Amino acid sequence: MLDDFIHIRKNIYPISISANEIVGKLTPDANEIQKLKKLSAGNCIEGFVLVDGKNKLIEQITAGQEIQIQLFPLKLTNEKYFETVEELLKFASQNYPDNRFYVHSITFDSNNNARPKEIQNYEATTQLIAFLICISD
C-alpha cells in the first residue's frame, strides 16, 4: 500500500499539507485510478473525490479528469509515510522504525540500502541510545 501512496503523493499538486492529511489535485490515468481504489479500500483516502466542485465516488472517476483528493498518511497500517525528516523524528523519537517507512522531503524509502546522511545520523544515534540504555541497566 505504501508504494501506491508514494506514487500518488509524488504526482499530486499539493494544496495543503499537515501530518495527518495531504490535500492535492491530480489528473489520474487508468493505472492511478486503480491505485486510488486500493488506497480507498485501505482508508488512506476518502471514498470520494472532488471533481468540478462536486463529490464523486472513486469508482465514478475517469482517466484524464482533474480531481482533488485527501491522503491520510496516518491510516497506513504496517508502513509509515512522513512528509519530512522532522515528522519521522517526532514519531519514532529514540527508536529507529522496524517497519518500512518513506520520507518525502528527501525521497527516502527505508527498503533502499542507500541512506542519506540525515538517516545515517539518526540510525547511529538510535543505536547509541539503545547501547547506553543497555549498559546503564
State the pLDDT confidence band at 29, using cuts at 50, 70 and 90.
Answer: very high
Specify the pLDDT at position 51: 94
Specify the pLDDT at position 120: 93
Contact 19, 27 (CB under 8 A): no
pLDDT tens digit string along 39-88? 999 999 989 999 999 999 999 999 999 999 999 999 998 999 999 999 99
Contact 22, 73 (CB under 8 A): yes
Specify the pLDDT at position 37: 96
Checking if the pLDDT of 137 tops 80, the result is no
Specify the pLDDT at position 7: 97
Q: Which residues contact 96 (CB under 8 A, 6 or more apart)?
A: 122, 123, 126, 127
129 vs 137: CA distance, rounded Å: 13
Q: What is the pTM of this model?
A: 0.90
The total of other beta-carbon atoms located within 10 Å of residue 130's CB is: 13
